[in-house]
């Protein structure tokens, strides 16, 4: 049996904490897509840490953690993460496994990412410059090096061949970058990676399923950044939705049971691209300040706005979401009035659907005003203790989406989660 946890907005929904919370109920936690452009923030023993590629179940020593083939893996970032995890007393060589079909991010991918973003000028996508896009392009172009290739005696020859291809592309973009230091660190971390548990990921996880193990598939980024269904071209390069679990781990669709979608109680976005409910005013700045809305990977200020129920309905539909977790509910504690976008005006006409190309139309949110609860909920432990106005907010979202909000997060700590049903 496989359950899925994924974000329903533009990422940064707080997936790391939620996976960490649910992990004790599972035997295996597996990342199925994305790369070091993800930043999953957790608080372990009151200490903040951010994971970029390692599954968020790593701090539960009795759990197996798998990096799946749908991920693009940066060995340098992985080594740093492993060092951080080990500082908490966790033995990564015991409970971290990496699928041999996982594609590698090379130093030249980072250079290509930077060159491509500079070439776009004022039309930048807002890339994290981690080499994600170029790595996925090599995957679809059938040029990539994969983790399993590290065990081949000809790996260095393969690397040099691909590096020359990349250099030709960089030359064509008139881009020059000294990557000598990057390469030195890369090959040092390659040696570290070779010492980890490299497995045939699809057989590995299907064997666990056949033995009755419970699997939690962890996504990165968010549904509105999906390469097919997101706000193209301002998207990531992988399939961030539940369908990506099958291709990113090598499991069959009928193995998936619950799809747990995560949404903030409001909405944020890092980088460029459409954001219909964005607040470019004092209210947006207040949300950013109270919610400490800065990117876990980049540190960039997040754009903030009210919850977008049109986009959330779309995300629930394409993912087959069965239950919701609403995070950062406590950020709204001090607001006398909230708003929720339940419809768009697209070129002046009412619409309940996400448009094909948001950048080609004028979108104005139609917002419903909702009373705030103006109560500190951070110390509350049960649904019965919640303010009635917060219960009404939850009921409104349940009704608008047709999917139940089963949990809310009322603070950053692992224990600050309340079951609402």
Q: What are residue 136's phi and psi, to 5 degrees?
A: -70, -30
* Beta-bridge partner residues of 108: none
Closest to 206 in 3D by CA, of 68, 351, 363, 352: 68
Q: Is 68 helix (H, G, I), strand (E, B) or coil?
A: coil
Contacts of 54 (CB under 8 A, 6+ apart): 31, 65, 67, 78, 81, 82, 85, 92, 96
pLDDT given at position 121:
64
Contacts of 132 (CB under 8 A, 6+ apart): 34, 35, 36, 37, 72, 105, 109, 113, 236, 237, 238
* Active-site annotation holds for 226: no
Q: Is the pLDDT of residue 160 over 90?
A: yes
Show the beta-strand stretches assigned E in 72-194: 72-73, 96-99, 103-104
pLDDT given at position 421:
75
Which DSSP category does 3 fall into? E
Identify the residue whose tokens are 């993800």. 38
Per annotation, catalytic residue among 3, 20, 40, 109: 40
Kindly list the structural domains of the chain, giving each domain's residue range(s) and its CATH number in brackets, ordered by start: 2-100+198-260 (3.40.440.10), 103-193 (1.10.300.10), 263-419 (3.90.170.10)
Closest to 261 in 3D by CA, of 246, 242, 280, 248: 242
**Angle CA 383–50–11, to nearest 5:** 65
pLDDT digits (tens, 9 = 90+) for 236-281: 999 999 999 999 999 999 999 999 999 999 999 988 899 999 999 9
Contacts of 253 (CB under 8 A, 6+ apart): 243, 246
pLDDT digits (tens, 9 = 90+) for 169-198: 999 988 888 889 999 999 999 999 999 999
Going by pLDDT thresholds of 50, 70 and 90, the confidence category of residue 297 is: low
pLDDT digits (tens, 9 = 90+) for 359-395: 999 999 999 999 999 999 999 999 999 999 999 999 9
Q: How far apart are CA 4 and CA 352, in angstroms?
A: 26
Per annotation, catalytic residue among 3, 12, 113, 138: 12
pLDDT given at position 299:
77
- Indicate the pTM of the whole model: 0.92
pLDDT digits (tens, 9 = 90+) for 190-214: 999 999 999 999 999 999 999 999 9
Tell me the CA distances in angstroms from 234 to 227, 263, 342, one per residue in order. 9, 19, 23
Q: Note the Cα 254 to chain centre separation in Å.
A: 23
Q: How many CA atoms lie within 13 A of 304 on its CB side?
A: 25
Q: Round the CA-based radius of gyration of the chain to a whole number and report it.
A: 21
pLDDT given at position 124:
62
Q: Which residue has the higher pLDDT, 117 or 104?
A: 104
Structure tokens at 75: 């060995």
pLDDT given at position 38:
74
* Active-site annotation holds for 12: yes
């Amino acid at each position: 049996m496989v359950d899925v946890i994924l974000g329903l907005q533009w990422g940064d929904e707080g997936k790391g904490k939620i996976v960490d919370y649910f992990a004790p109920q599972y035997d295996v936690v597996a990342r199925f897509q994305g790369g070091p452009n993800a930043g999953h923030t957790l608080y372990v023993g009151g200490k903040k840490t951010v994971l970029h590629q390692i599954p968020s179940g790593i701090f539960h020593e009795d759990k197996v953690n798998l990096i799946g083939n749908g991920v693009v893996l940066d060995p340098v970032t992985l080594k740093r993460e492993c060092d951080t995890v080990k500082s908490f007393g966790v033995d990564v060589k015991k409970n971290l496994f990496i699928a041999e079909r996982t594609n590698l991010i090379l130093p030249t991918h980072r250079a290509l990412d930077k060159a491509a973003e500079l070439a776009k000028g004022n039309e930048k996508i807002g890339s994290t410059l981690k080499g994600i896009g170029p790595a996925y392009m090599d995957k679809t172009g059938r040029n990539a090096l994969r983790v399993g290739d590290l065990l081949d005696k000809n790996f260095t020859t393969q690397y040099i061949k691909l590096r020359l291809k990349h250099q030709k592309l960089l030359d064509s973009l008139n881009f020059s970058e000294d990557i000598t230091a990057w390469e030195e660190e890369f090959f040092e971390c390659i040696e570290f990676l070779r010492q980890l548990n490299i497995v045939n990921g699809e057989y590995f996880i299907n064997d666990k399923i056949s033995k009755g193990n419970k699997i939690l598939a962890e996504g990165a980024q968010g549904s509105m950044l999906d390469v097919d269904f997101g706000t193209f071209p301002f998207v990531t390069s992988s399939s961030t939705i539940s369908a990506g679990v099958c291709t990113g781990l090598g499991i069959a669709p009928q193995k998936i049971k619950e799809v747990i979608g995560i949404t903030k109680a409001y909405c944020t976005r890092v980088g460029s691209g459409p954001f219909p409910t964005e607040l470019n005013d004092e209210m947006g700045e207040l949300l950013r300040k109270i919610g400490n809305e800065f990117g876990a990977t980049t540190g960039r200020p997040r754009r903030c706005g009210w919850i977008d129920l049109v986009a959330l309905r779309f995300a629930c539909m394409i993912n087959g979401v069965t239950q919701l977790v609403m995070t950062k509910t406590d950020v709204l504690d001090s607001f006398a009035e909230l708003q929720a976008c339940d419809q768009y005006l697209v070129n002046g006409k009412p619409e309940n659907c996400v448009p094909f190309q948001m950048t080609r139309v004028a979108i104005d949110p139609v917002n419903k005003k909702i009373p705030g609860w103006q109560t500190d909920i951070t110390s509350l432990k049960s649904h019965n203790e919640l303010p009635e106005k917060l219960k009404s907010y939850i009921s409104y979202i349940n009704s608008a989406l047709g999917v139940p909000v089963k949990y809310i997060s009322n603070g950053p700590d692992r224990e600050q989660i309340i079951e609402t049903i």
